[in-house]
C-alpha cells in the first residue's frame, strides 16, 4: 500500500498536469481534446481512489474477521 502523502501528491500531480493540458488545448481551440483530457484525468484519479478504498476495506476485514 502506498503512503498517504504519496497518494495525495499523485492526485495533485495529475490535477496540475490535466489543468495545464486543458488550458493549452482550450487556447488552441481544441476544446474537445481539452474535455477528453479532463475526463481521462478524472478516471485516473478515480482508479487511484478505488484502489485505496479496496485496501482500506481489506484492512477492515482483516481486523474484524481476524484474518491475515
> CA–CA separation, 33 vs 20, rounded Å?
13
Residue that the C-alpha cell 481476524 belongs to: 66
> CA–CA separation, 54 vs 60, rounded Å?
10
- Backbone region of residue 29 per phi and psi (left: phi > 0; alpha: psi in -120 to 50; beta: other values): left
User: HSE-up of 36 (CA within 13 Å, CB side)?
Assistant: 5
pTM, whole model, 2 decimals?
0.79
pLDDT tens, residue order, the chain (68 aa): 557 789 999 999 999 999 999 999 999 999 999 999 999 999 999 999 999 999 989 888 888 886 55
Domain boundaries along the sequence of the chain = 4-59
Amino acid at each position: 500500500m502506498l503512503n498517504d502523502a504519496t497518494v495525495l501528491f499523485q492526485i495533485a500531480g495529475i490535477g496540475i498536469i490535466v489543468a495545464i493540458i486543458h488550458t493549452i488545448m482550450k487556447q488552441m481551440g481544441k476544446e474537445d481534446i481539452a474535455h477528453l483530457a479532463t475526463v481521462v484525468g478524472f478516471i485516473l484519479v478515480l482508479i487511484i481512489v478505488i484502489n485505496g478504498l479496496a485496501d482500506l476495506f481489506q484492512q477492515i476485514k482483516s481486523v474484524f474477521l481476524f484474518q491475515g
